[in-house]
Every structure is written in C-alpha cells, then in structure tokens.
Amino acid sequence: MLIDTYGRVATDLRVSLTDRCNLRCTYCMPEEGLQWLAKPDLLTDDEIVRLVRIAVTRLGIEEIRFTGGEPLLRPGLVGIVERCAALEPRPKMSLTTNGIGLKRTAEALKAAGLDRVNVSLDTLRPDVFKTLTRRDRHHDVLEGLEAARAAGLTPVKVNTVLMPGLNDDEAPDLLAWAVEHDYELRFIEQMPLDAQHGWKREGMITAGDILASLRTRFDLTEEGSERRGSAPAERWLVDGGPHRVGVIASVTRPFCAACDRTRLTADGQVRTCLFATEETDLRAALRAADSSDEEIARIWKLAMWGKKAGSGLDDPAFLQPERPMSAIGG
C-alpha cells in the first residue's frame, strides 16, 4: 500500500511514457521545443510494465493513466497497454493525449485493453488552435475524438485550458459542442508548468470565471463531494443532465486532502505530486544487477510516505518547478 503520513492512500498511477510532444502549446513549452531526454535515460517497455506490475500486484494501484509528453509518440504504446491489461488484478486504464494520431490508433488501443481517453482541446477555432499550439492540426484532433468515441474509448473526456485574450470567451460554445457530440468537457485552470515561466496568477481564468461564463447559457447543478470522491474535477449536471461538465481548480480550489495519485516520469522517477520539487529514482533500482520487486516496492513506499500535505499552489509565493509538464506527465 502507498500511504503517506496524512493517511492518504495512492490507488491511481500516472505514467509518463515520453517527454516528447508534436505540439508546442504556449502554456507548456517554448516554440523551439525542449532538450529531450536521451534514449538511454528513458524507461524501456519492459521496465514500464515491470513497474506497473509492482504497483498493481504489490502496492494497491487500481488505475493507470498513460501520459506524456504525447504518449501516442511512444512506439511500443499498444504493447504496453496490452501487457498491463493482462495483469491480475486488472487495472482500469486510460490515456491523456492531444488527439493527433488517435484516429489511426484508437481501435488498436481499445483492442489492447485501454478503457478510455482524455483528449486536450482548448478551442473550436482553427486559427486560435494554431496560435495556442503553434501547429495547424485542429482537424486532426477533431478526427481523433470521433475515432475514440467510435472505438468505444468512452467516456471521452475533453480537457480545456482557457487563456486570457485567446479563448476565454469560448466556454459556453465548447460546452454546447461537447454536449452535442457526447463528450465530457473538463476545464482546467492554467497551472504554472510552462518551461518559459510565463505563468502569472494575476489575470488567470479561474474556476469562478468559467462557471459564471457557462451559467450565461446553461443551468448547472453541482453533483457534490460524495459523487466526486478523490477525482480532481468538481462536476455539474448540465441543464438537469445527463451530460456533465467538470472544472479542475488546482490553483484556486486545491483538492490535495483527497489526492490518491502517484506519478512515474518517463525516466523512472517517482513524483508524489505534479508540482513536487523532489523525485525518487526507481530507474537505478530497476537496472541494478540484484534488483528485486520487493526492494523497488520498498523505495516507492518510502517516497510516498514523505508526500507533503499540499501542492503549494494556494501560496502566492509558489515557485514554479524546474521540469516542464512535458517531462513529468499531466
């Protein structure tokens, strides 16, 4: 069991499969990209599966989320999913992706055992998409979403970040579109994870701003904390249901007290929080000649035992982490 000193138990594992991405989103990385991890530093497919197996069979992990960077860029992705789906007990498995490439991989991922996907899409306007991502791939994302739904990777969740002066007026249109296409829309407050350190708390589109905008067109009924559990998103029924919209308010409404997540970076480091400034190395233990599952599990438990009470995002003096989102996974 992965328990910390505050009594929280991690049952949800986020696994970053690569630090690479085929977009250059302004809130994530600079236009010229980043210094990618060297291939020898990345976990191999076998190492990823071994760590997932240890997490599931020895540490009580019940859910796996594959992330990046962009996980669809990982050549062995389908095989990793298939091998993890064969574990006993079988974990629930999902994938967070930008949707580019999902059209050609959705059916294979479903056949391998993936349960559902989260797709990032911040705008319905192709020109705004190009400004935000520095790539002209809007249509590819829409096709990827359709392919995911057709393949049965449901519920298909769409993650949206609103940025001042770019897409901050789109919340009602995005929700109407999501309801029409049977996607579950989730707005995420912009977080300080950009490599160029351009994030500023002032002017950020907050959860309150998002809900006020949505209520100009929709009637929202809060589901409540009992239905939410440890999920990061607060959810509302849209016009009485059955469709829902979520808001992940990491900055203005931190949910650290209910956190049930542990994270693996693409180079085999345990992170107790997305915003943690410290990591624990599992890769060295994996590659040691006398490594055992028991020792790796012990190191992982010790790392989680030291998890802090909160992320620090509610502190106005919060310092941004040195590693950008693409390196540590969302």
| pLDDT one-digit tens code per residue, 88-136 | 999 999 999 999 999 999 999 999 999 999 999 999 999 999 999 888 9
Instruction: Tell the burial category of 325 from Cβ atoms under 10 Å away from its Cβ (0-12, 13-18, 19+).
Output: buried
Question: Is the pLDDT higher at 254 or at 33?
Answer: 254
Confidence category of residue 328, pLDDT binned at 50, 70, 90 = low
pLDDT attached to residue 193: 54
Contact (CB, 8 A) for 187 and 247: yes
Any bridge partners for residue 56, and if so which? Answer: none
Residue 26: predicted pLDDT: 75
Distance CA 327, CA 34 (A): 9
| 101 CB-near residues (< 8 Å, 6+ apart) | 22, 70, 72, 73, 140, 144
pLDDT surpasses 80 at 202: no
- The answer to whether residues 108 and 117 touch, using CB atoms and an 8 Å cutoff, is no
**Residue 199 has what pLDDT?**
46
pLDDT tens, residue by residue, 141-176 = 999 999 999 999 999 999 999 989 999 999 999 999
| Neighbour-count burial of 315, counting CB atoms closer than 10 A to its CB (0-12 exposed, 13-18 middle, 19+ buried) | exposed
Taking a C-beta distance cutoff of 8 angstroms, is the pair 72, 112 a contact? no
pLDDT band of 28, cuts 50, 70, 90: confident
CB 10 within 8 A of CB 61: yes
Lowest mean pLDDT among 27-31, 140-144, 255-259, 279-283: 27-31
The four Cα atoms 205, 208, 214, 215 give a dihedral, to 10 degrees, of -150
Q: What is the pTM of this model?
A: 0.89
Mean pLDDT of the 281-287 span? 96
